[in-house]
Amino acid sequence: MSVAEDFEGEFPDDYRPEQDESFMSPQMREYFRRKLLAWKQEILSESKLTLANLQQENAPLPDLVDRASSESDRALELRTRDRQRKLISKIDAALRRIELNEYGYCEDTGEPIGVARLEARPTATMSLEAQERHERNEKVYRDE
């Protein structure tokens, strides 16, 4: 059964998850599912615009400085698209976790990640404490 099927009733447009409500209730999961889908759609729309811009700017420029500037802009656009592609993968993974009822729980400790963190970073897979611990350990190993 999908989250949309699991959620009964109309979804209120002004719903916001609260700290004191049941964590990852069907309504909360549906809220985050919709938030992630909207974010993904926004990124895909931006990608289409980027692609259209890259195709329009395909004409060769006679001036060396203009050509260098155009190539620099193109490289920046391509790096941005690559970041967006990676973000879409994270969004898709979060959507899969929602379907499996694993969303919102730390992959390291199994504890709830927290509504505020998920609001700020809906693709989060670790609680703030676990993420900080992970980053400290990463820094220690990188410094050696």
Residue-wise pLDDT tens digits, 66-106: 767 777 877 888 888 889 999 999 999 999 999 999 999 99
Whole-prediction pTM value?
Answer: 0.76
Q: How confident is the model at residue 19 (pLDDT cuts 50, 70, 90)?
A: confident
The whole-angstrom separation of Cα 23 and Cα 33 is 14
State the angle between helix axes of 26-56 and 64-99 in degrees (0 to 180), rounded to the nearest 10.
Answer: 160
pLDDT tens track for 45-57: 888 777 666 666 6
For domain 21-103, the CATH superfamily is: DksA, coiled-coil domain (1.20.120.910)
The residues spanned by each domain of the chain are 21-103, 104-144
pLDDT in tens, 3-12: 555 555 677 7
